[in-house]
């Protein structure tokens, strides 16, 4: 994988570009994809954003979101765009398996794959150009850097700013995580100079849910949360019956794993949700406990040191028993 700077000269040559991200895209994934879409479109490229799956409804307000192609819902259109692409820009993921059913198409594509991502252990051999930087707060910060360092910072506009702010805000927990540097705040100041109304982004993301989600959260915290006091750990397990009872949609469980970290002394929070095809894990930690390695070692996942995800093909009860078994081996780190 060559450095991303080697790709900059190609920005002046109009091309057919597909921009994609990981399945079930979050604010950073969708924000970085749409900011890149607006940027490259202004440079004269023909761009299509393809999401491997659907996404949370609270992201639909974002400029350009109505043009995103859902691979599972519009497979023919997505496959056609990928087949014709000169470049596929891959944002907020670093292994092609994160694109779910799109992986074989990307591997078979004649397009050059371009990477911008901040997760650990990238699949470097499949990317022609890229930047993998775990010191960055978000992929949106990296897209901002890409725009500025390529010499086209004058193109930054309010639509891009809204998309970029969405990603950096959501991936940093509203700027409270240690990964937030002075450069992040300088970036936000620049976004404000474009006309960004940051309070409206907050409203769209955090104050745009239905009543059933709040009742669901109350039910989960009361009935599905187990505190393992001797390990300063909380685990939440959500069966499919709860998903059906409260009519939970994509995005409604976003951020739920962070709630237990507000309990005094808790170092690790984990949540497992029973989905149709698999059980999805999310892990968050405080301090030195590395949930990236924990997820990679035990739950086919990975991510960042203090925020990671995983999966399991086992039944909910089985994967939960596995968690209780393996967590005991970390008593020296968590106890």
Cα-Cα end-to-end distance for the chain: 41
Using pLDDT thresholds of 50, 70 and 90, give the confidence band for residue 297: very high
Strands (E), the chain: 2-3, 16-20, 46-51, 69-70, 87-91, 112-117, 129-132, 225-228, 233-238, 268-274, 279-285, 302-303, 307-312
- Main-chain phi, psi angles of 165, to 5 degrees: -65, -40
DSSP annotation of 42: H
Q: Across-strand partners of 225?
A: 236
DSSP annotation of 44: T
CA-based nearest residue to 103, from 90, 119, 120: 90
For the record, the structure tokens of 35 come out as 């900011």
Is this model's pTM higher than 0.75 or not?
A: yes
The CATH class given to the 2-206 domain equals alpha beta
Half-sphere exposure of 264 (CA within 13 A, CB side): 0
Using pLDDT thresholds of 50, 70 and 90, give the confidence band for residue 276: confident
CA-based nearest residue to 293, from 279, 303, 284, 282: 303
How many Å apart are CA 91 and CA 175, to the nearest integer?
21
The pLDDT tens digits for 14-57 are: 999 999 999 999 999 999 999 999 999 999 999 999 999 999 99
pLDDT at residue number 303: 87
The pLDDT tens digits for 169-185 are: 999 989 988 899 999 99
Q: What is the DSSP string of 219-246?
A: HHHHHSEEEEGGGTEEEEEE-HHHHHHT
Residue-range domain boundaries for the chain: 2-206, 213-334
Q: Which CATH number fits domain 213-334: 3.90.1150.10, 3.30.230.10, 3.40.50.720, 3.10.310.30?
A: 3.10.310.30
User: Based on the number of CB atoms within 10 Å of its own CB, is 10 exposed (0-12), middle (13-18) or buried (19 or more)?
Assistant: middle
Which residue blocks in 4-153 are alpha helix, DSSP H? 27-42, 75-84, 103-108, 139-149
Using pLDDT thresholds of 50, 70 and 90, give the confidence band for residue 304: confident
């Amino acid at each position: 994988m060559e450095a991303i700077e080697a790709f900059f000269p190609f920005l002046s040559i109009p091309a057919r570009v597909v921009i994609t991200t990981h399945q079930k895209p979050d604010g950073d994934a969708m924000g970085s994809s749409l900011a890149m879409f607006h940027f490259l479109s202004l440079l004269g490229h023909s761009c299509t954003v393809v999401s491997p799956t659907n996404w949370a409804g609270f992201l639909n307000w974002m400029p350009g979101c109505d043009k995103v192609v859902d691979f599972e819902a519009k497979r023919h259109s997505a496959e056609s765009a990928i087949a014709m692409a000169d470049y596929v820009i891959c944002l907020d993921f670093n292994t092609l398996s994160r694109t779910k059913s799109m992986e074989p198409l990307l591997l078979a594509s004649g397009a050059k794959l371009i990477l911008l991502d901040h997760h650990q252990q990238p699949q470097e051999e499949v990317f022609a150009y890229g930047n993998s930087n775990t010191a960055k707060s978000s992929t949106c910060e990296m897209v901002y850097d890409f725009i500025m360092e390529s010499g086209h910072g004058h193109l930054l506009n309010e639509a891009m700013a809204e998309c970029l702010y969405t990603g950096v805000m959501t991936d940093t927990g509203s700027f409270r995580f240690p990964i937030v540097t002075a450069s992040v705040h300088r970036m936000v100041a620049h976004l404000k100079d474009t006309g960004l109304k940051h309070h409206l982004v907050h409203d769209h993301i955090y104050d745009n849910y239905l009543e059933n989600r709040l009742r669901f959260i109350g039910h989960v915290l009361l009935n599905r949360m187990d505190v393992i006091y001797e390990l300063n750990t909380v685990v939440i397990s959500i069966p499919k019956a709860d998903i059906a009872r409260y009519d939970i949609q994509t995005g409604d469980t976003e951020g739920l794993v962070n709630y237990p970290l507000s309990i005094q002394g808790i170092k690790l929070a984990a949540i497992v949700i029973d989905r149709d095809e698999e059980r999805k894990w999310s892990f968050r930690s405080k301090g030195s406990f590395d949930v990236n390695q924990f997820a990679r070692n035990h739950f086919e996942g990975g991510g960042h040191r203090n925020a990671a995800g995983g999966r399991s093909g086992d039944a909910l009860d089985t994967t939960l028993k596995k968690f209780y078994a393996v967590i005991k081996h970390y008593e020296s780190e968590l106890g």
